[in-house]
Amino acid sequence: MTKQNQLKETIHFLTQKGLANPEIGIVLGTGLGKLVDEISIEIEIAYKDIPNFPVATVEFHSGKLIYGELSGKKVLVMSGRFHLYEGYTPWEVTYGIRTMHGLGIKNLLISNAAGAINLSYKKGDLMLIEDHINLQGQSPLAFKGANTFGNIFADMLAPYSKEINSKIIEVAKTENILLHQGTYASVLGPQLETRAEYRMLQILEADAVGMSTVPEVIVAKQLNLPCAAISVLTDECDPKNLQPVNIAEIIAIAGEAEPKMITLFKGVIKVL
Q: What is the pLDDT of residue 59?
A: 59
Q: How far apart are CA 10 and CA 151, in angstroms?
A: 22
Q: pLDDT averaged over the chain?
A: 95
Q: How far apart are CA 261 and CA 263, in angstroms?
A: 5
Q: How confident is the model at residue 30 (pLDDT cuts 50, 70, 90)?
A: confident
Task: Choose among 263, 268, 259: nearest CA to 227.
Answer: 268
Residue 87: exposed, middle, or buried by beta-carbon count in 10 A (0-12, 13-18, 19+)? exposed
Residue 187 domain boundaries: 3-271
Q: What is the pLDDT of residue 243?
A: 87
Q: What is the pLDDT of residue 61?
A: 53
* 124-158 pLDDT tens trace: 999 999 999 999 999 999 999 999 999 999 999 99
Neighbour-count burial for 150-172, b at 16+ CB within 10 Å, e otherwise: beeebeeeebbbeebbebbeebb
* 156-183 pLDDT tens trace: 999 999 999 999 999 999 999 999 999 9
CA–CA distance from 193 to each of 30, 115, 183, 213 (Å)?
18, 10, 17, 18
CATH number, domain with residue 201: 3.40.50.1580
Average pLDDT over residues 23-41: 93
* 49-106 pLDDT tens trace: 999 999 766 555 569 999 999 999 999 999 999 999 999 999 999 999 999 999 999 9
Say whether pLDDT at 117 is over 70: yes
Which residue did the predictor score with more confidence, 74 or 249?
Answer: 74
Say whether pLDDT at 217 is over 90: yes
Q: How far apart are CA 260 and CA 268, in angstroms?
A: 12
Hey, how many other C-beta atoms are within 10 angstroms of the C-beta on 103? Answer: 19
Say whether pLDDT at 266 is over 90: yes
Residue 190: cis peptide before it, omega within 30 degrees of 0? yes
Residues 6+ apart with CB under 8 A from 214: 132, 134, 136, 184, 186
| Beta strand pairing call for 179-187 and 227-236 | unpaired
Say whether pLDDT at 235 is over 60: yes
Q: How far apart are CA 99 and CA 245, in angstroms?
A: 35
Q: What is the pLDDT of residue 32?
A: 85
- The total number of structural domains in the chain stands at 1
User: What's this model's pTM, rounded to 2 decimal places?
Assistant: 0.96
Q: How far apart are CA 61 and CA 40, in angstroms?
A: 22
Q: What is the pLDDT of residue 177?
A: 98
Hey, how many other C-beta atoms are within 10 angstroms of the C-beta on 269? Answer: 21
Neighbour-count burial for 198-207, b at 16+ CB within 10 Å, e otherwise: bebbbeeebb
Amino acid occupying residue 37: D
Q: What is the pLDDT of residue 57?
A: 65
